[in-house]
Amino acid sequence: METILVRANLLEFLSAEVIRFLNEDPSNRMGEAWGDERIWEQPLLGAANGADPIFETFKDTVDPLHWTPIEAFAAGGLEAKAEELTAVSWVLPKNEQTKKDNALRKDLTTERWARSRFFGEEANIKLRVHLVEFLKNAGIEAVAPTRLPDWSRLNSERYIYTSKWSERHIAYACGLGTFGVSHGLITPLGKAVRLGSVVLRGLIPTAPRPYTSYDEYCPFKANKTCGACIKRCPSGALSKRGNDKRLCSAYMDNESARTSWNTSDLTATAAASARPVSPALQVFLENSTDTVRSGSGFVLLWVRLSANCILVFSCFLAVIHQHICSFYNAV
Ligand code: SF4
């Protein structure tokens, strides 16, 4: 037991490193068109002991193949007792402008949002790898379960899409939030977030989770109030019955061709940039056609609509004028 690290300040130690990484690492930037704007703002971290019984319950609620912390540790070639381990999870919130811009859209996401999703997850992957190395340098063994070769996504009869290490469920176990109608995690930093985690050999004192049920933060689950996500969902995948993931996925596949981004400068910027566009974003970009971009695009859209209205009205006046002239000529 003497080799187990018990550090009351280990979570603060990790929080400080995550904040430093997000501030300094170039991966946490939107891209040249947005200058040095950060993708992720101030994070929130939580922890759960590796022997917490909640991890066993995920074999039922997520998938029988879902890992416990000790199984994830073993998948990384490391040995420990469950109670010697701690799962540490973090919440990365999108920046305020990204959320504001996206709120204006009704059918598809903004380019800024998609960049946060794709480039932001690349930063999140880099953060996982970095933290494992950072802990190793501090003499603490750790794994990032979703970066392990044996980790994989799973097709589930019950939940459609799952994986061997669900970041949302780990964050839930670490006291960072509960699930909403869309199965997204409602965290103290909101729902426009990405999550990540590591499992480390060491003990971090943890407080009891601030909730007792998996959907406690969602008022729709409790008393059918709110439902804002159901009203906003453009595909009909969200309903009072829950989330139809197949419908959502089909909508995303079919509608991505309608994305309204100006991609010419983006692809040129990406080509000239040191950071390549991820293959998934490239596919998304190649299917893009229009020139509307977030806030300024909204103004452009209104200018276009106004111009079209003036044109239609002018045609209407011309037709009326023609009819009046014809009438008087006939008389
Ligand atoms: S019903 Fe409201 S609180 Fe619940 S997930 Fe939807 S938007 Fe969030």
**DSSP sequence for 83-98:** GGEEEEEEEEEBPHHH
Residue 173 falls within a domain, yes or no? Answer: yes
Residue 166 falls within a domain, yes or no? Answer: yes
Question: What is the position in ligand 1's atom list of the atom closest to the CA of 228?
Answer: 7
- Beta strand residue intervals within the chain, DSSP E: 44-49, 85-93, 142-143, 153-156, 160-163, 178-179, 185-186, 193-201, 238-239, 242-243
> DSSP string of 103-114?
HH-SSS--HHHH
Q: Is the domain of 209 the same as that of 300?
A: no
User: pLDDT value at position 50?
Assistant: 98
Residue 52 falls within a domain, yes or no? Answer: yes
Q: Which of 216, 243, 272 is the last residue of a domain?
A: 216
Rounded to whole angstroms, the Cα distance separating 99 from 106 reads: 13
> Mean pLDDT in the chain?
81
Residue 153 falls within a domain, yes or no? Answer: yes
Whether the CB-CB separation of 265 and 33 falls below 8 Å is answered with yes
Question: What is the position in ligand 1's atom list of the atom closest to the CA of 225?
Answer: 1
Residue 231 falls within a domain, yes or no? Answer: no
Range(s) of the domain holding residue 81: 10-216
Number of folded domains that form the chain: 2
Name the strand (E) or helix (H) holding 159.
none
Whether 218 is in the pocket of ligand 1, judged by its Cβ within 6 Å, is yes
Q: Is the domain of 303 the same as that of 208?
A: no
User: pLDDT value at position 108?
Assistant: 79
Output the CA 1–ligand 1 centroid distance in Å: 44
Residue 265 falls within a domain, yes or no? Answer: no
Q: Which of 201, 216, 231 is the last residue of a domain?
A: 216
Whether 177 is in the pocket of ligand 1, judged by its Cβ within 6 Å, is no
Q: Is the domain of 305 the same as that of 212?
A: no
Whether 227 is in the pocket of ligand 1, judged by its Cβ within 6 Å, is yes
pLDDT tens figures, 172-229: 999 999 999 988 999 999 999 999 999 999 999 999 999 999 999 999 988 889 999 9
Q: Is pLDDT above 90 for 95?
A: yes
Q: Is the domain of 311 the same as that of 212?
A: no
Question: Which has the higher per-residue pLDDT, 309 or 93?
Answer: 93
Question: What is the position in ligand 1's atom list of the atom closest to the CA of 238?
Answer: 6
Q: Is the domain of 187 the same as that of 68?
A: yes
Output the CA 228–ligand 1 centroid distance in Å: 6
| CATH number of the domain encompassing residue 159 | 3.40.109
Q: Is the domain of 297 the same as that of 211?
A: no
Whether 215 is in the pocket of ligand 1, judged by its Cβ within 6 Å, is no
User: pLDDT value at position 291?
Assistant: 30
Name the strand (E) or helix (H) holding 255.
helix 245-255
User: pLDDT value at position 184?
Assistant: 93
Query: 185-186 and 178-179: which strand pairing?
Result: antiparallel
Q: Which of 162, 192, 216 is the last residue of a domain?
A: 216
Q: Is pLDDT above 90 for 150?
A: yes
pTM for the full predicted model: 0.79
Residue 298 falls within a domain, yes or no? Answer: yes
Output the CA 106–ligand 1 centroid distance in Å: 17
In degrees and rounded to multiples of 5, residue 236 shows phi and psi of 80, 5
Residue 302 falls within a domain, yes or no? Answer: yes
Q: Is pLDDT above 80 for 243?
A: yes
User: pLDDT value at position 248?
Assistant: 87
User: pLDDT value at position 268?
Assistant: 43
Other C-beta atoms closer than 10 Å to the C-beta of 257 total 11
